[in-house]
Amino acid sequence: MQIKYYAKKISLSILLVLNILLFLLSVITFGAIFKSGYEFYKFNKDVSVLKPKWNNIETAQTKKYEIIRDWYENDRNHFKELLGSHSSMKDTIYKEYISLNKKLYEIDKLAYYDSKGYTLYSPELTEAYCALISAAKAREMLLYDITCGKVKDLNSYYSENLYYIINNKSTSQDKLIDIDKNFESYNQQKIIDTLSNLHLPDHFYYGLKIFFVNAHTKTELGFFNRNSMGENNFIVVYNQPTEEMIHTTIHEFGHLVENKILYEFKKNKDGFLINEENKQAMLEYAKIYNKTSYYTNYDDYSLEKWGNSLNENFAEDFASLYDLSPKDTLWQGDHKKEVEYFIQRKIANKYINNFPLIKSAKITSPDNSSEITLPFNMDCNFYTKSSKVNIKLDILPIKGKNIKVSVYSDDYYNCIPINSKNEATITLPKKGQYDIYIESSASDNSLGTMVHCSNFKIVYDSN
């Protein structure tokens, strides 16, 4: 009996040790992502990154989300202290800004990159990405305002709650429900296989980022961010059962296709190209359903308006070509063959290759390194203490010509051509803010000039 008692006691001790080890493993998260040259407020644990394997994630790993949320709250408190002493803490803010940008780049390296040119971010990486970009953005804006002498309050820089901000775009006004503990719906390989089976040219995928969020909203299953330049867009997909998630992903991809074939480049009053609705192509599509009129703008909260919009019907049509889910929109009828023929014909006739496509641009200076994906229409300030800034473009092998970087300020203008290495070095004459435009002309001169990036600023602070 005594032997059994001690054996039972030893077994319980072993189980206790195993439970402790399992708990410690559950809280091993992306400390390596956040670990940097400076000590984050109350976040100095030596932890490592677990690369996402969506088909093998345990429920205990919800601890990872809690750690990110805790880090976000603590960093916001730390930032509040920096804000209170911003005049004397500018160098510290600057160092933290550099470190956060480097960690964002590390997250990109952890994400799945497909040879077609798109990138998938797991729910964990999306959470970390949003926390980091919020923290980096707060410091970026503060450094800019210190330089301009117009510092604002804490909430103007750093939201109290972590929102899913993707390249300065919040998901919606609708607050997200708390994180979901069901990870089984995420199947990365199935998503990759689905995207590889879409009958689309590779350049449709280039620069696309797809973020998966382990949360829900009341009104959205996902969304597509349509960039005015028609390239390098992003998709956000919220947590839902696997088959519905696949459908939502293809639906949002349908919006990308729509943006390519149902929109066209037109010149604005300044002679620059903008992407606007191609009314003739849209009407041609509507006629497949015997419609002679259509609308594209609607209220997100009206299911009837959503269901009758041309854009949403096109996305549902596109999704129905690749899965068996019934259409949720109100344009009904079996028109798969006509829709597929329409899409393939428009893709074949679309002169997309007139302009060089820019996948990304890496902006560097001797004391800083950051990467900005173009041509997102976002307010992006690159803060530097160096008078020299290098821009290196990752350009797809498509013929175009005369790519240049234009630099403007109130009393300065310079135009720097991109060299054979796809690089340009900017020399800033004095401290201040500079507007940067990356422009290209097409192989067809009659099309005009495309501005790939219109809200990019360099803030040069020589002190």
Least confident among 20-29, 171-180, 443-452 = 20-29
Name the pLDDT band for 285 (thresholds 50, 70, 90). very high
Question: Span 353-367, mean pLDDT?
Answer: 69
Question: Span 455-459, mean pLDDT?
Answer: 79
Cα torsion at 281, 287, 288, 291 (round to 10°)? Answer: 130
Average pLDDT, the chain: 74
The CB-side HSE value for 62 (13 A sphere, CA atoms) comes to 11
pLDDT of residue 427: 92
Highest averaged pLDDT of the listed ranges 32-41, 254-263, 270-279, 281-290: 281-290
Cα torsion at 187, 192, 195, 196 (round to 10°)? Answer: -150
pLDDT of residue 354: 59
pLDDT of residue 4: 44
| pLDDT tens sequence across 368-419 | 555 555 444 445 678 888 889 888 887 765 554 678 888 988 889 999 988 8
Given a cut of 70, whether residue 49 has pLDDT beyond it is no
Cα 58 to Cα 52, 53, 62, distances in angstroms: 11, 10, 8
- CATH code of 356-460, in short, is 2.60.40.10
Name the pLDDT band for 75 (thresholds 50, 70, 90). very high
55/17: higher pLDDT: 17
Question: Span 62-83, mean pLDDT?
Answer: 84
Name the pLDDT band for 58 (thresholds 50, 70, 90). very low
| pLDDT tens sequence across 420-447 | 888 899 999 998 889 888 877 766 666 6
Name the pLDDT band for 297 (thresholds 50, 70, 90). confident
Question: Span 100-121, mean pLDDT?
Answer: 84
Highest averaged pLDDT of the listed ranges 26-35, 135-144, 266-275, 313-322: 313-322
Question: Span 17-28, mean pLDDT?
Answer: 42
Identify the CA nearest to 137 among candidates 104, 171, 181, 179. Answer: 104
| pLDDT tens sequence across 7-16 | 444 444 554 4
Cα–Cα distance for residue pair 127/64, rounded to 1 Å = 9
pTM of the model: 0.75
Report angle CA 406, 411, 416 to the nearest 5 degrees.
Answer: 20
Cα–Cα distance for residue pair 39/59, rounded to 1 Å = 30
Least confident among 23-32, 108-117, 232-241 = 23-32
